[in-house]
Structure 1
């Protein structure tokens, strides 16, 4: 599976390294296209809500205007970050492979010059 404007492969087999019964938190690092990218992404966020709800996904954080406090440049490469929690890796897979979701995914693909999606598992500190 690839996205409309991103020919990098989607690696759903990476979930094999995560607990199948534990929540997975997806970190979205988003670089918008200069021409209407942010607006297209906002359309995607509105249309994806029922798909998130169907699988039990929850947006935990959305942020823009990043500046580097520690780093090699004044700003990171991305324009926005979105953190979404799913009850399990399978819930995320169920959403992105659903034909209804595939119909709206084009808005996300059209919005982004680059969109990295990173799956993370809970880490207990201490």
Structure 2
């Protein structure tokens, strides 16, 4: 199982190397039953999600897209996820500072209770590759 919280050293490197807008790709796999809470993992994560969206917006970010994967077309069953979200922040520093607030620390327990595993990928804007040029 992977870690639920970001590696502090990787976060520090991202903040140092990138100061502009960043989109976080969130891949989420929920526990069948929430750990230490009532309900399913998805329900526990929902308690986190309903509050964190307001925090994201308060730091100038926004949820660009969220949904449920329908099918893994390339890959195997270990690549299956329950939910995917794209969340934009004005900078990695804004995301990091949001995570340090007492309000975020209070709701993070629901994220931990609900997630079996997760992948969080920081994506910076880049021109698309055009092989015909």
Question: How high is the TM-score relative to the length of structure 1?
Answer: 0.83
Task: Give the CA deviation at 1:79.
Answer: 1.4
Contact 1:66 1:79 in 2 (8 A): no
Q: Paired residue for 1:82?
A: 85
**Structure 2: distance between partners of 1:50 and 1:7:** 20
Helix, strand or coil at the partner of 1:34: coil
Unaligned runs of 5+ in 1: none
The structure having more radius of gyration, on CA atoms, is 2
Task: Give the CA deviation at 1:65.
Answer: 3.5
Helix, strand or coil at the partner of 1:78: coil
Helix, strand or coil at the partner of 1:122: coil
* 1:119 equivalenced with 2:122 (yes/no): yes
Structure 1 runs of 4+ aligned residues shifted over 2 Å read 5-11, 16-19, 73-77
Q: CA RMSD in A?
A: 2.1
* 1:25 equivalenced with 2:28 (yes/no): no
Question: How high is the TM-score relative to the length of structure 2?
Answer: 0.79
C-alpha distance 59-89 of structure 1, shift in aligned 2 (>3 A): same
Q: Paired residue for 1:70?
A: 74
Q: Paired residue for 1:48?
A: 52
Contact 2:28 2:83 in 1 (8 A): yes
**Structure 1: distance between partners of 2:107 and 2:93:** 20
